[in-house]
Structure 1
Amino acid sequence: MKIIAIDTSTENCSVALLNEDSITFKSEVAPQKHAEIVLEMLDTILKESSLSKDELDGLVLGIGPGSFTGVRIAASTVQGLALGLNLKVAKITSLEALAIEALSKGSSSYVVSSIDARMGEVYLAVYKVEGSALTLLSEEKVLKPENAVAQLKQFVGDSENVVCAGSGVELLKKAGMKDYPKQADFPQAQYLLNKGAELLSLGKGVNPEEALPLYVRNEVTWKKVSEQ
Structure 2
Amino acid sequence: MRILAFDTSTEYCTAALWLDGTLTYREIHAGQTHSQLLLPMCQDLLAEADVSLAQLDGIAFGAGPGSFTGLRIACAVAQGLAFGADVPVLGVSTLLALAEASGAERVIACLDARMGEVYHAVYRREECDWVTDSEPQLCAPQQVPAMAGLDWCGCGSGFKAYAEVLQARYADALVNIRPELYPHAREIAHLAAPHIQAGQGMAAELAAPLYIRDKVALKICER
TM-score relative to the length of structure 1: 0.89
- Structure 1 residue 225, shift from structure 2 partner: 4.4
Alignment deviations for residues 69-108 of structure 1 (CA, whole Å, 9 cap, x no partner): 00000000000011101111122100000001112xxx43
Does the Cα contact within 8 Å between 1:64 and 1:213 map onto a contact in 2?
yes
Q: One-letter code of the match for 1:85?
A: A
Cα deviation 1:124-156 (Å, max 9, x = unaligned): 0011222232111122111100101xx1x2x3x
Amino acid at match of 1:181: N
Instruction: Report what 2:199 is aligned to.
Output: 203
Gapped regions of structure 2 (runs ≥ 5): none
CA contact 1:8–1:73 (8 Å) conserved in 2:
yes
Match of 1:66 in 2: 66
Asked if the contact 1:146/1:172 (under 8 Å) is kept, the reply is: no
Which residue number corresponds to residue 18 of structure 2? 18
Partner of 1:160: 150
Greater than 6 Å deviation, 4+ residue runs: none
Counterpart mapping for 1:70-219 below 5 A: 70-103=70-103, 107-108=104-105, 110-148=106-144, 151=145, 153=146, 155=147, 157=148, 159-175=149-165, 176=168, 177-178=170-171, 180-183=175-178, 184-219=180-215
Instruction: Tell which deviates more after alignment, 79-88 or 46-55.
Output: 46-55
Partners of 2:10 and 2:175 in 1: CA distance: 22
Q: Structure 1, residues 179-199: CA drift from partner, whole Å, max 9, x if none?
A: 542345210001011221111
In 1, are the aligned partners of 2:10 and 2:182 still within 8 Å (CA)? yes
Change (3 A) 1:18 1:141: same
Structure with the bigger percentage of strand: 2
Letter in 1 for 2:153: V
Q: How many positions carry a matched residue from both structures?
A: 216
For residues 143 and 38 of structure 1, the distance between their equivalents in structure 2, rounded to whole angstroms, comes to: 30
Q: For residues 203 and 21 of structure 1, what CA distance do their matches in structure 2 show? A: 17
Q: Secondary structure at the match of 1:36?
A: helix
What amino acid is aligned across from residue 121 of structure 2 in structure 1?
A
Alignment correspondent of 1:4: 4
C-alpha distance in 2 between matches for 1:132 and 1:203: 19
Matches of 2:206 and 2:97, distance apart in 1? 20
**Aligned counterpart in structure 2 of residue 223 of structure 1, from 196, 217, 221:** 217
Q: Percent of aligned pairs with the same residue?
A: 35
Report the Cα distance in structure 1 between the residues aligned to 2:176 and 2:61, rounded to whole angstroms.
27
Contact 2:101 2:181 (C-alpha < 8 Å) held by counterparts: no
Q: Note if contact 1:113-1:166 (Cα within 8 Å) is conserved in structure 2.
A: yes
Q: Render the CA deviation track for 1:165-189: whole Å, top value 9, x for unaligned.
A: 1111124432123454234521000
CA distance in 2, matches of 1:187, 1:146: 23
User: Residue 137 of structure 1: SS of its match in structure 2?
Assistant: strand
